[in-house]
Structure 1
Amino acid sequence: MPSEKAKEKPVHALIAGATAGAIEGFVTYPTEYVKTASQFSGNKLGPIGIVRTTLQTKGVMGLYSGCGALVTGNALKAGVRFVSYDKYKSLLADSEGKVSAPRGLVAGLAAGMTEAVLAVTPSETIKTKLIDDSKRPNPRFRGLIHGTTTIIREEGLSGIYRGLFPVVLRQGANSAVRFTSYSTLKQFVQGNARPGQTLSSGITFAIGGLAGLITVYTTMPLDVVKTRMQSLEAKQLYKNSFHCAYKVFQENGILGFWKGTTPRLARLVMAGGIVFTVYEKVIVLIGGRAL
């Protein structure tokens, strides 16, 4: 049994979170590629059409365009997310160390906003621009490093922080919903289990997957606006996030805010299962504290 001092080290949450984020990002990336491509303005292809066209023109590796940005960003953001969530939970805990559901929601919201500023916005902007560029007949970017340096050279740091506002909103909502759903479902399952029984990886994966499903449908509109704001043509098409949302509604109606739901659903259900399962396993191996 690890000591209380060992349990509380932020490095435990950082290592476990970064490992879980990197593995999840690589495994689920093709669904993220399809989701992002389906949300660009003017795209008329459905998920199957995007996969078919990409395979025909770019091959299997085409489905991994921008993967390096997301895997790197995923490892960083997951590490930041779990460290900050653990910190905010400890700050909001009562005298007995317990965190109520409303306070857990606040902790998740704060953790999501923290990761949005420190990790998500730059990695998501670069990933989105790389995917957008890969659809061109003659792509400009030759990979993650070249694409990143080119964007910064031409647009400055603001070029990789485009869409910060919708990202902060989306990540805050994502983490608030995901952590709250996961914690609530886990407590429910543990409450119906035998005393002292440890949850299996299969049950943890299922709980995480269900938390991912809930997260997708509640935060999808923010994700659509975020993707549009980070596209290569965003500066020419949209004045700000609110104007972007208006254009989405004008072009596609209310259902336009749920465009790309299927591939994002596939990704976040898998992601929720993978992230929480890997996190729980790694945190135990290194002597930290489970969620």
Structure 2
Amino acid sequence: MSHDPNTPAIVSILAGGFAGAIEGAATYPFEFAKTRVQLRQQKGVPTPRNPFKVVLGVYQTEGVAALYKGCSTLVIGSVGKDGVRFLSFDTIKNQFKDPETGTLSPMRSLAAGMLSGVVASITCVTPTERIKTALIDDARNEKRYLSMMHCIKTVLKENGFIGLYRGFAGTTLKQAGATAFRMGTYNILKDYEKEHDIAQNTATNFANGSVAGIVTTLATQPFDTIKTRCQSSRGASTVEAFRSIVADYGVKGFWKGTTMRLGRTVFSGGILFTTYEWAAAILNPLVAPKEERLRE
């Protein structure tokens, strides 16, 4: 995250939204593979742990277009999710800073991330994740949905508006935890580097984002697995999803898709924060003078 406390809100939301779109599109095949593995498989049929094998298998049997089923939904959702997430984190962290030193303790970094994750889940993440997961699940089975809009209309017709929030509990727990660890870890690393005069450049931003992605994945994978089961094409309650995972795979099933998700988050964290810092550096000089004139 940028450490300029005067970063305009419009910069946070635009840079965050742009970074989310780039990250979502660039790493989507890994997200697709992870979601496929987490959805219910035939009993006795092992699921591969290597994300590249899943991607290759889908490509060979269903074509390259199948790997991007639900991608547009994720990208649109990522624009909103990361725009809101960066904006809310920037806003909340400035409120949490020590008024005397202007610094943010590790625990306050995690708390700021947790709150911004809840805001993102309520405003945009849960509905877009629901549609993305339903599209991926439907593509391997019934093939009822003709497009993203058709999927949304069908969900609304069959389940009402509440259908878009299927898996809300799991998604919010995941987002609260994921944003706490991702934003918090990144902010902690940046503060440490600032204290030790470590240069901030593309390499350090990418490395910090990748480390934050690894920590986030390992800590929040169970929530992600429950969320995926809840948001399948037919849907399930959080309790039903929990029971089905235990019945199918036991406790270790909650970490189903970890390798797949790591394959994505190592790159996605680096791409997300590097793109955000780059976009913010371009936008800040353009927006800040206009806001200063408005305040005068």
Same fold by TM-score greater than 0.5? yes
Alignment of 1:223-262 (within 5 A): 223-235=224-236, 240-262=237-259
Equivalent in the alignment of 2:200: 199
Q: Residues of 2 paired with 1:214 and 1:51: CA distance?
A: 24
Q: Residues of 2 paired with 1:186 and 1:113: CA distance?
A: 23
Q: Does 2:35 align with 1:36?
A: yes
Q: Does 2:245 align with 1:273?
A: no
**Residue 109 of structure 2 contacts residue 188 of structure 2 at CA under 8 Å; is this kept in 1?**
no
**Residue 182 of structure 2 contacts residue 212 of structure 2 at CA under 8 Å; is this kept in 1?**
yes
Query: How far apart are 1:233 and its partner, in Å?
Result: 3.0
- Segments of structure 1 that go 5 or more residues without pairing to the other structure are none
Q: Does 2:218 align with 1:217?
A: yes
**Residue 70 of structure 2 contacts residue 135 of structure 2 at CA under 8 Å; is this kept in 1?**
yes
Query: How far apart are 1:143 and its partner, in Å?
Result: 1.7
Q: Residues of 2 paired with 1:102 and 1:229: CA distance?
A: 31
Q: Does 2:63 align with 1:66?
A: no
* Runs of 4+ residues over 4 Å off in structure 1: none
- Taking every aligned residue pair, what percent have the same amino acid on both sides? 38
TM-score (norm 2): 0.88
Query: How far apart are 1:155 and its partner, in Å?
Result: 1.7
- One of 83, 105, 111 as aligned partner of 2:110: 105
- Higher deviation after alignment, 118-127 or 242-251: 242-251
Query: How far apart are 1:246 and its partner, in Å?
Result: 3.0
Q: Residues of 2 paired with 1:48 and 1:286: CA distance?
A: 36
Equivalent in the alignment of 1:129: 134
Equivalent in the alignment of 2:183: 179
CA RMSD of aligned residues (A): 1.9
TM-score (norm 1): 0.90
The 1:59–1:121 alpha-carbon spacing in structure 2 relative to 1, beyond 3 Å, is same
- Segments of structure 2 that go 5 or more residues without pairing to the other structure are 288-296
Q: Residues of 1 paired with 2:238 and 2:278: CA distance?
A: 39
Query: How far apart are 1:141 and its partner, in Å?
Result: 1.3
Q: Report the residue type matching 2:222 in the other structure.
A: P
Q: Residues of 1 paired with 2:212 and 2:189: CA distance?
A: 8
Q: Residue by residue, what CA displacement relative to the aligned partner does 1:134-193 show, whole Å, maximum 9, x if unpaired?
A: 112x61212212221222122211111100001110000001111111111222233333
- Residue aligned with 2:27, SS: helix
Q: Residues of 2 paired with 1:49 and 1:15: CA distance?
A: 36
Alignment of 1:77-92 (within 5 A): 77-92=81-96
Q: Report the residue type matching 2:225 in the other structure.
A: V
